[in-house]
Structure 1
């Protein structure tokens, strides 16, 4: 998004024969900020884009349409972020954050249910390990199994989120991935 808008602003500015300093004077934005916008280093605010559009004598919608076109190109990255959030919600063995995230995003991607069930299964594993640890704590007065169970669950949730972001298979104790299914059938 940043790069496309910046390139467009630079192109329009050069067509007008303006320097970055000239545009900065007309927009009440520093020349350094104009430079950073054009280089794609910053994402300009709507007000700044309005000022730039006015100074360049173009419609503000020209920049908005450019931004919207680019936003539509990256739904996969958005889905990956939500998949990662879903897995991270498994850090705490409470089911309702996971259900809330899934309920809000279930219609946005076909894979959301797979990640939802993986996060739930990890939470159930954490619950089982924690209950066994609590039983051991009750019988032997030793809290180490409970702590290890919770830390292990948190570690797996963080690893799964990282694996989802980097397009790798995530850990799921109950549901086999397609890669695992094909290895078993071979």
Structure 2
């Protein structure tokens, strides 16, 4: 069984990237599982515009091999009008080959997001990212009220559908302690689920 969980995200101003790093720390708590952190390039309405082959900062761009080799997938995006951001959707829309071959079928999957405001569409964005994972035959992993203090502790980000963060209108709010905790818990839950499942048939 492969022992890596792919943590794949798009981040415009760094908030979703920070959340991805906490998710990856959670994966690492479930040794021998490890996190492989990747991002997607931006998209542009200008057809001549392009991204460098290697990002200037942050995680490398995702490749097809990352999906083939992962034991689980956790994807994250900022909210765009209650939906995932276009760069992540653009990448997901390119996965017809992986869908046909069942690359992700039977593997655990989870989602996380960041929004500018507390009521900025976190849960609908998380759901929008779950839908393609379900179409790929993935097993969705969320957070639980009983184990993860969602009911009593959360006054910022955090939902049963996945980890989340409230970045503020300027995108400059740091992750709260509970947001970090929930992101790490999500990563750990996916990693432990992948370890129990072993390699999908």
Question: TM (normalized to structure 1)?
Answer: 0.29
Larger relative CO (CA 8 A, sep 6+): 1 or 2?
A: 2
Structure whose residues are more often strand by fraction: 2
TM-score w.r.t. structure 2 length?
Answer: 0.27
